[in-house]
Structure 1
Amino acid sequence: MKKIAVPWRGTVVLASTLVLATSASIVASAGPDSSRRATPDASAQRPADMVLLDGKISMLDDANRTVSALAITDGRIVQVGSDRTVRKLAGKGTEVVDLDGRRVIPGLIEGHLHALRTGYHCWTQTVRLDQVTTRADALAAYADKAASLPAGAWIWTTAGGWNIGQLDDPAPFTLAELSAAAPDNPVWVTGSGITGARVNQAALDAIGLGAGDPGVEVDGSGNPTGGISGAANTAAGTAIRAQLDQLGIEGEAACLSDFLDEAASRGLTSIKDAGGNNAPWGTTGAISDGLHGEEPGMYLYRNEGLPVRIAYHQMSRYAGPASAMEDLRNAVGFLGDDWFKYLGPGEDTMATDAGYADFTTMAARKQLSLETHVGNVDAILAGFEAAAAVAPVEDLEWRIAHPADGQPTDEQLARAAALDAGWILTFSSVRNGATGPRYKSVLDAGAKFCLASDAMNVAPWQPFQNLWYVTTGDTMLPGVPGVPADQQLTRLEALRHQTVECDWAIDQEGEIGSLEVGKLADLLVLDQDYFTVPDDRIRTIRPLLTVVGGKVSYSAGPYGKLG
């Protein structure tokens, strides 16, 4: 039972339904979220739903223990230990998974990803080049995508996930190359190191432009090269948005489902979603204004179920604190369950906006979680402190997203700690050879932080690539370093801050992130051992099996028939 202090009434004991029913009847009638921490011994009285044997299971508990076996019942871990001990829980109907010595780790938690936006920005039509290193493979990716889509469907690559300099031949793609790869589909490609966008002939035809039109680049003979900028690039963005607007919620849900399935195949079991707007094809309005934000996620949650957990901060309309405050009038924070949950307002309000302190104060009064992105770290902290002077914020999981290179300072860390505010440390600048935030300094300060990507538009998204960045100091650019040695994390430190030390980011403290008895069974069976694989292969690690809440979300190789 929880005790709260009410100023005009003293201390009140919240007994909930405990005075009305026995604990047995509560369990019998419990909903999805009320079975939290079911008693392991009670579950262990019948055969487990799944047991995993003969592995190297990294529990990531306080002692960082490794065991060989684990049992799952009703979505939770009911036993860990030796094969002999756990095998006793196997019975008729138990799924027995032979790990054959493979490494198992807790499912990865992504602390700041614009995942729900992949519904409206249809993932099914997206080509990502995050880890592609050859020109031939890049062009093959466009050909493969075109072969999977109907004629006329746009194909795109946004800038943030890659740099043209990572290719063996780093020249921009030509009109002829992209046209050969996708003759019947308009293609639009941006990337770091590319001026404007690169398109194919089908794209020029779709927007009705050609040689001589503003923004269409031509060669010495007057023929289009594939480069577009200015008005021509704006026209392409308008055409892409017009096509996306035809998807509807069910169509967007199908696109989002494709992404979430791939996320599970890359090792993500939980995502803290950061909302989204129309960028890169427009800079005004949040996609949620047009029913394109959280609605596809809710559609999947209600109709099909989600393969990964999602908790989200909602974007407003990029119209400033006054508009955001209006949107919060009926907001109820932390609303949802273990699979899909609204936390509070997100990153579209800037701390340098007039009225930011009024906005944070309203969020505190309404007891909402709050995420603000930099910007200006000192201004964010000032807004947080102003709110905390009016209403308590320590239990609301407020956080500062993606501080810049060399941030946060020691003073900023101390101010955040006083508020129990957390940090979301990302890699958007590291990919191009910048140093990134002060990862190791934040760790050494004992600060609350979670590693994250900030993908899709400004960063690579694959989680093991980000773990590779922060543990090795390497980048995808040949000979270009990223995180300096004094700010790199060990493999264990990095993994803990994308698992057990990140549970707070999606309001699941004590429920996920480690493989301990009583916790939700979110785990990965890896194709390579994260702790022993050579540095240059960390980024290539993939799960062979992804389990979320005791259910198989992805399986491959020897486990391909599971789930």
Structure 2
Amino acid sequence: MRRMYLSGMALLLVACGSESDVGQHPQADLLLINGNIRTVDDQRPLVQALAVSGDRIAALGSNEALSAWRGEQTQVIDLQGKTAIPGFIEGHGHYTSFGDSLMTLDFRYADSFDAIVAMVADAAKETPAGEWIVGRGWHQDKWKTQPVPSVEGLPLRDKLSAATPDHPVMLIHTSGHAVFVNQKAMTLVELDGKTVPPDGGEIVLTDDGRPIGMMRESAQDLFRAAFARHQSLRSNAVIEAEMRRKVKLAGEESLRHGITSFQDLGTRFAEVDLLKTMADEANLPVRLWMAFEEQAADMQGRLADYRMIGYGNNFLTVRAIGEKVLDGALGTHGGWLLEPYTDLPRSHGLNVVPIAEIEASARLAMQHDYQLAIQGIGDRAYRELLNIYAAEFARHPDKTDLRWRIEHAQVIHPVDVQRTVELDVIPAVQGIFACSDGPWVEERLGPQRTAERGYIFNTLYEAGAVPTNGTDPPVDEISPIASFHCSVTRQLPDGSYFQPDEVYTREVALYSYTMGNAIAAFEDGIKGSLTPGKLADITVLSQDLITVPDDDIMDTEIVMTILGGKVVYQDGEIQP
């Protein structure tokens, strides 16, 4: 699949212009000169200058060759040797959830449960009684001190409940696959030790049957629904204003990190309605590719009306179903495994969404020409998805180049690697997870299973799968530089290395964050490389990611973000 698209880019280069025919073109609106411009295009991988007309790349070449494009109205940017690359594409995230996370408590850097309780207690002082307190980002394996007492490494709710007697509290796990709640929240939804957990969920209990506050997978839905009902009591104007703020905040933070396109896994019809309105207003800050996370019965009869490609001057595309989660996260022992967890032998993980529901979504995707992009973290979930995809493909042998995806793909049995390639399935992975999860993965899987199946991203690439990348914001920090660093080093915070044989080369890592992600969204014709005719989405870096030493990668700064030929971020500031 990779070779096919690269050869297609070569044809596009010939068709749309090159250094040899620059004299035939009018003056450029934007001209980048004196740069180290890495195009991610095999036909011309490294150039000095780039010309933009309108929102498209017009020509590439040397300073001298492109001087003919310079006119009185041309904006000329001297890169002074800095590196320009195609705009980063976030290959998997949750856009409005990311925006929401920028408006709530952030527990990402809390090093203990006590620190989180203190943060929540401070928030309670400023919050009217009865109002919810919500935060996100905690992970029990990242705490420096483990809670005492605890159950399976998790705290009991008592301290949190004592600190917040008048507020329902919901602390969202960094994975999004669990919540920790206080007694007030449990009382609100009438949950106690006798409550039967829903299918695909678990209420974690003490030995004597008392809920500790941890709700895994679908068991969290009661609390999320209660919070949503509370929020829905506000006026429509307030709700819309808050959603618009989330869109703005998520977009601006993306631009600060050099991201020009964001692939969202898990939108709703009402959300798309607002995004379409904002696209009409030219108010979307980045380009969005959206995948529905709705029940198959609710999507029936509506998908055709919502399918759109390149709407609003290529700012909004809706053409996928996902991320329905077949299983949960490894961090919460929710990933569905073929064999039990090493550190929790009673559990194989959880099948969160019934297979029949995924099969129904697959039929809809095939019927309406949507991609399917379902989460499969554990090796059992990954295999089940391959089986579902293969069965649907077999029913429609006339349909090819479907680019169905499996999101995260963190644990894969070796026999399923080649099946992935044979089925042309795209494993949509996040390089950063190898480093953020690396310190505890072996505890979950054991050394042999980890070495054989854990985060084998380069093995997938070498087998022929399209390489992809991302950070799954707000699950991890929205930092392509950090994910690039992990992708090419696998270095953990303590200096050790996790699965070092699975590193990408520098070139593959850059490709994964640009062209690979574009291919995974059917957008390789307009994004992913700096090729004449494609959108002028460009990120300027303070140093060259291909040549800088490993130890200096994390020092790379985003100097400038260019979207559709317009400078939208520069020197630390969002541009008007």
Correspondence 1:251 to 2:242: yes
Evaluate the alpha carbon distance shift between residue 204 and residue 555 of structure 1 in structure 2; reply closer, same or farther with a 3 A threshold. farther
Aligned to 2:402: 396
Give, in angstroms, the shift of residue 261 of structure 1. Answer: 0.9
The answer (yes or no) to whether the contact 1:274–1:312 under 8 Å persists in 2 is: yes
Q: Which residue is 2:318 aligned to?
A: 342
Match of 1:545 in 2: 560
Q: Does the 8 Å contact 2:96/2:243 carry over to 1?
A: no
Which residue does 2:8 correspond to in 1? none
Q: Which residue of 2 aligns with 1:297?
A: 275
The amino acid across from 1:473 in the alignment is R
How far did 1:347 drift?
Answer: 2.7
- Give the 5 Å matches for 1:29-428: 45-62=25-42, 65-118=45-98, 122-128=100-106, 132=109, 156-159=134-137, 163=139, 189=171, 240-241=227-228, 244-245=231-232, 246=234, 247-276=238-267, 288=268, 291=270, 293-317=271-295, 321=296, 323=297, 326=300, 330=304, 333-337=307-311, 338-348=314-324, 350=326, 353-354=355-356, 356-357=358-359, 359-374=361-376, 376-391=381-396, 392-405=398-411, 407=412, 409=414, 411-427=415-431, 428=433
CA contact (8 A) 1:333 1:369 kept: no
CA apart distance, 1:421: 2.5
Q: Report whether the alignment pairs 1:432 with 2:437.
A: yes
Contact 2:489 2:497 in 1 (8 A): no
The answer for the alignment partner of 1:487 in structure 2 is 502
CA change 1:544–1:154 in 2 (3 A) is: farther
Q: Which residue of 1 aligns with 2:331?
A: none
Would the aligned equivalents of 2:490 and 2:497 in 1 still touch at CA under 8 Å?
Answer: yes
1:425: how far off?
Answer: 1.4
Q: Deviations over 1:172-203 (max 9, x none)?
A: 99x9x99xxxxxx998655579xx9889xxx9
The answer on whether the counterparts of 2:568 and 2:574 sit within 8 Å (CA) in structure 1 is: no
Q: 1:237 to 1:275 in 2, by over 3 A?
A: closer
Equivalent position of 1:475 in the other structure: 492
- Counterpart of 1:499 (choices 514, 517, 521) is 514
Alpha-carbon distance, 1:77 to partner: 1.2
Change (3 A) 1:446 1:228: closer
| 1:341 counterpart SS class | strand
Q: Percent of aligned pairs with the same residue?
A: 25
Please state if 1:447 is matched with 2:453.
no
Question: 1:397 Cα shift?
Answer: 2.1
Give the 3-state SS of the residue equivalent to 1:310 in structure 2: strand
Deviation at 1:361, TM superposition (A): 3.4
The answer on whether the counterparts of 1:425 and 1:452 sit within 8 Å (CA) in structure 2 is yes
| CA distance, structure 2, for counterparts of residue 539 and residue 47 of structure 1 | 37
Query: 2:36·2:46 contact (CA, 8 Å) conserved in 1?
Result: yes
Which stretch shows the higher mean deviation, 80-89 or 526-535? 526-535
The residue identity in structure 2 corresponding to 1:47 is Q
2: CA distance, partners of 1:364 / 1:376: 21
Report the count of equivalent residues. Answer: 477
Counterpart of 1:520 in structure 2 is 535
Q: How far apart in 1 are the matches of 2:168 and 2:24?
A: 56
2:93 touches 2:474 (CA, 8 Å); kept in 1?
A: yes
* 8 Å Cα contact 1:107-1:524 kept in structure 2: yes
Gaps of 5+ in 2: 1-14, 148-153, 161-166, 194-211, 327-352, 442-449
Shift of 1:496: 0.6
Q: How far, CA to CA, are the matches of 1:123 and 1:503 in structure 2?
A: 26
Distance, in Å, in 1 between the alignment partners of 2:554 and 2:356 is 42
Give 1:251's aligned amino acid: E
Counterpart of 2:558 in structure 1: which amino acid?
P
Change (3 A) 1:156 1:467: farther
Counterpart-to-counterpart distance in 2, 1:454 and 1:106: 20
Shift of 1:467: 1.6
State the 1:315 CA deviation: 0.7
Q: Give TM-score scaled by structure 1 length.
A: 0.70
Q: What letter is aligned with 1:252?
A: M
CA deviation profile, 1:476-515 (whole Å, cap 9, x unmatched): 4x35643x11111122211111111221222212321111
Amino acid at match of 1:424: A
CA contact (8 A) 2:96 2:246 kept: no
| 1:475 to partner: Cα distance | 3.1
The Cα shift of 1:97 comes to: 1.0
The one-letter code sitting in structure 1 at the alignment partner of 2:321 is P
What displacement does 1:356 show?
4.5
CA distance 1:408–1:331, change in 2 (3 Å): farther
Q: Deviations over 1:111-167 (max 9, x none)?
A: 221113345xx244135565x5989xx99xx79x98xx99899775423xx646667
- Aligned counterpart, 1:15: none
* Conserved? CA contact 1:106–1:522, under 8 Å: yes
CA–CA distance in 2 between the matches of 1:543 and 1:50?
Answer: 19
AA paired with 2:461?
A: L
CA distance in 1, matches of 2:469, 2:227: 32
1:552 to partner: Cα distance: 2.1
Q: 1:505 to 1:57 in 2, by over 3 A?
A: same
Q: Report if aligned partners of 1:51, 1:72 keep a CA contact under 8 Å in 2.
A: yes
Matched residue type, 2:381: N
Distance 2:127 2:33 in 1: 45
TM-score (norm 2): 0.69
Distance 1:169 1:66 in 2: 49
Displacement of 1:534 in angstroms is 4.1
Give secondary structure in 2 for the equivalent of 1:301.
helix
Q: Deviation per CA, 1:272-298, whole angstroms, max 9, x where unpaired?
A: 21015xxxxxxxxxxx37x3x323422
Q: Which amino acid aligns with 1:397?
A: R
Partner of 2:199: none
Change (3 A) 1:308 1:443: same
> Could you say which residue in structure 2 is the equivalent of 1:27?
none
Distance 1:371 1:234, change over 3 A: closer
CA deviation map 1:66-87 (0-9, x unaligned): 2221111111111212222223
The 1-side partners of 2:307 and 2:527 are apart by 20
1:537 Cα deviation (Å)?
A: 4.5
> 1:220 maps to which residue?
none
Q: CA deviation at 1:387?
A: 2.0
Whether the 8 Å CA contact 2:261–2:288 is kept in 1: the answer is yes
Cα separation, 1, equivalents of 2:22 and 2:127: 53
Equivalents in 2 of 1:55, 1:535: separation in Å? 22
The CA distance in 2 between the partners of 1:324 and 1:237, in whole Å, is 20
CA distance in 1 between counterparts of 2:174 and 2:96 reads 24
> Contact 2:421–2:463 at 8 Å: present in 1 too?
no
Name the Cα RMSD after superposition.
4.6
The Cα shift of 1:547 comes to 0.8
